[in-house]
Amino acid sequence: MTKDFLCLSDWSLDDLEAIFDLTRELKLKQKEGTPHQLLAGQTLGMLFEKSSTRTRVSFEVGMFQLGGHALFLHSGNTQMGRGEPIKDTARVMARYCDGIMIRTYSQDAIEEFAENCYVPVINGLTDLYHPCQLMADLFTVSEHKEDYKNLKYCWVGDGNNMANSWINAAAIFGFELRVATPKGYEPDAGVIARAKEAGAKLLLSNDPKVAAAGADVLNTDVWASMGQEEEQAEREKAFKGFQINAGLVKLANPDCVVMHCLPAHRDEEITDEVIEGPHSIIFDEAENRLHVQKAIMATLMAR
């Protein structure tokens, strides 16, 4: 087990399933009102270079419920935003905090931070991956479906940080994953190659119908991620048809569930009707960010 949570592929199936077991236990305790202060007296430093609602709130609330404290920093208000090197920021923050969560652009930057930081570092999203979201997503499926590792998963939309993380998950958990993106918006080539090498059951397509046919889990995300705002108009053209709507849901398994990490652009990548419809487990998915991340923090940080 590594000291950090930067990429799902750094972790074994057994370790990730142990996090799910702890998630179930902590979720039950939180619902019952049973104290579970596994990180009493500890501080999580949270460093954001991009916006957030769910990640910031779920980590901060999660630390409080675990008996600790979370410290919110936006890079624009830190010396890092004025050019202090990552390695210096990492070395200093490690001296004050017991763990660090970072949301930033490049995966290399978070890796450099972790190399220079002797306390655990958690990836709260980079351009390449969003591993905490993936853990929340799979945990949510496991609550709604038996045998979540033997289902057919489908991704429709951009080959972005979420798609890359789903591909990593397919390689580790062994489920079938069909990914449909427009041409030119495929997931990261290195991520695909490593997953294939690891034996992932992965089908890449440019047709959402091919990906959705018979799927048990339908998944999508925004067409333009944070940092790509200026590409919005161009992407709206390229992604036409890459939408989860009632027609696409009809092609999937009649018991399928629909997911979205949020925030959603309603009636772009997913219709309002599907978000609010009977297949949607989107708000359970959002809630489980809290429970899964508590388990991740406890796994990495409990003494």
Tell me which residues touch ligand CP (CB under 6 A).
Answer: 52-55, 125, 133, 261-263
Instruction: Determine whether 235 is an active site residue.
Output: no
Interface of this chain with ligand NVA, residues 154 to 193, rule: CB under 6 A: 160-162
| Nearest to 161, CA basis, from 169, 153, 172, 149 | 169
Neighbouring residues of 149: CB distance < 8 A, sequence distance ≥ 6: 173, 174, 175
Instruction: Determine whether 144 is an active site residue.
Output: no
- 5 burial type by CB count under 10 A (0-12 exposed, 13-18 middle, 19+ buried): buried
Q: What is the DSSP letter of 228?
A: -
Whether the Cβ atoms of residue 116 and residue 141 lie closer than 8 Å to each other: no
Does position 219 bind ligand NVA by CB under 6 A?
no
In the bound complex, what is the minimum distance in angstroms from residue 266's beta carbon to ligand CP? Answer: 15
Contact pick of 4, 98, 137, 221 for ligand NVA (by CB under 6 A): 221
Instruction: Determine whether 130 is an active site residue.
Output: yes
Instruction: Determine whether 133 is an active site residue.
Output: yes
CA distance 242 to 259: 15
The structure tokens listed for 36 are: 């579970």
Residue 162 interface partner, choices ligand CP, ligand NVA, none, CB cut-off 5-8 Å depending on type: ligand NVA
Which of 37/232 has CB closer to ligand CP?
232
Interface of this chain with ligand NVA, residues 258 to 277, rule: CB under 6 A: 261
Residue 161 interface partner, choices ligand CP, ligand NVA, none, CB cut-off 5-8 Å depending on type: ligand NVA
The structure tokens listed for 45 are: 């430093």
Residue 53 interface partner, choices ligand NVA, ligand CP, none, CB cut-off 5-8 Å depending on type: ligand CP
Does position 226 bind ligand NVA by CB under 6 A?
yes
Instruction: Determine whether 154 is an active site residue.
Output: no
Compute the C-alpha angle 186/47/118, nearest 5°.
100
Neighbouring residues of 115: CB distance < 8 A, sequence distance ≥ 6: 87, 90
Q: Annotated active-site positions, please? A: 103, 130, 133, 221, 261, 289
Q: Which residues bind ligand NVA (CB under 6 A)?
A: 125, 160-162, 221-222, 225-226, 261
